Amino acid sequence: QVQLVQSGAEVKKPGASVKVSCKASGYSFTGYYMHWVRQAPGHGLEWMGWIIPSSGDTKYAQRFQGRVTMTRDTSINTAYMEVTRLRPDDTAVYYCARVGVSDDYWGQGTLVTVSS
């Protein structure tokens, strides 16, 4: 069965960086885009970007360009999402998601807390 397992919760100080991992299993990792979505506490969903695992090509939402980097390691079927220059308003649950044409699978979410 398809599974996306994300790394654990993180607490970071403003200005630091965080890298969240998403390990995929149960399907061909290189066959599907991987999206990253975040949700601040009590707020809505925010699309951050996608990566094509087969090529490494990426596309980011404009507001994250320059501060977010998505990568992947096809040898271990894992996608990564790094946010630099963290701010308190980056506090959120970060999800990876394999959204296919007619189905979707989501990771369990990773809570990133940014606080001094």
Partner 1 sequence: QSALTQPASVSGSPGQSITISCTGTNTDVGGYNFVSWYQQHPGKAPKLIIYDVSKRPSGVSNRFSGSKSGNTASLTISGLRTGDEADYYCSSYTRSSTYVFGTGTEVTVL
Candidates 18, 34, 95, 114; binder of partner 1 (CB under 8 A) is: 95
CB closer to partner 1, 35 vs 72: 35
Candidates 5, 9, 61, 76; binder of partner 1 (CB under 8 A) is: 61
Candidates 59, 73, 87, 115; binder of partner 1 (CB under 8 A) is: 59
Q: What is the DSSP string of 88-114?
A: GGG-EEEEEEEE-SS-EEE---EEEEE
- Buried b / exposed e along 61-80 (16+ C-beta atoms within 10 A): eeebeeebbbebeeeebbbb
Q: Binding of partner 1 at residue 57 (CB under 8 A)?
A: no
Q: Binding of partner 1 at residue 101 (CB under 8 A)?
A: yes
